[in-house]
Amino acid sequence: MSAPLLLLTDEIATPLGAFTLIADEAGRLHAAEWTDCADRVERSLRLLHPEGYSLERARNPGGNSAALRAYFAGDIAVLDKLAVAEFGTPFQRLMWRNLRKVKAGTTLSYGAFARRIGKPAAIRAVGAANGANPISVVVPCHRLVGADGALTKYGGGLHRKQWLLEHEGAA
């Protein structure tokens, strides 16, 4: 039997509260979430790694902590440089990969995003995959909004979604 996947974890302070990030030894993010939403992280990791994993505290794993600090300090483009692990269902992978292509400072409705990825009838599936995103901020689920432009559903709370969008320059 092989050893469980070793994941490295760190916590950073942000203007919105403590933020936990979890990366593998190659520096690819497996989870990133507000520390007060730790239950979401645990649930995601169990689903994404049913073979098991172990967590070990580390300073700045893969440079991710420094990059996220830079993001919160105003270097929005730094998110584009971060590596994320590929996992989830084929639809989730399609969804999350394409979320990273939504430019900072812009928002899309769930319907517009579904059309963009070639799945115009999958609006609810887009919403479900967006809600299951284990790598908050870096895979920018906060950039999807309601059909009327209203802020809708964000695991970390709508106050954080609003702050992130304003931080990135979205109207």
pLDDT of residue 2: 67
DSSP conformation letters of 32-89? EEEGGGHHHHHHHHHHH-TT-EEEEE-SSGGGHHHHHHHHHTT-GGGGGG--B---S-
pTM over cut 0.85:
yes
Does the domain at 90-167 match CATH 1.10.10.10? Answer given as: yes
Delimit the CATH 1.10.10.10 region(s) of the chain: 90-167
Return the CA Rg of the chain: 15
Q: What angle do CA 34, 65, 28 make, to 5 degrees?
A: 90
**Tens of pLDDT, residues 101-159:** 999 999 999 999 999 999 999 999 999 999 999 999 999 999 999 999 999 988 889 99
**Tens of pLDDT, residues 59-84:** 999 999 999 999 999 999 999 999 99
pLDDT of residue 1: 55
Q: Is the pLDDT of residue 43 over 90?
A: no
What CATH code is assigned to 5-81? 3.30.160
Contact 145, 111 (CB under 8 A): no
Q: How confident is the model at residue 8 (pLDDT cuts 50, 70, 90)?
A: very high
Query: Catalytic residue positions?
Result: 141
Delimit the CATH 3.30.160 region(s) of the chain: 5-81
Q: Residues of the chain with pLDDT > 90: what percent? A: 83
CA distance 37 to 159: 14
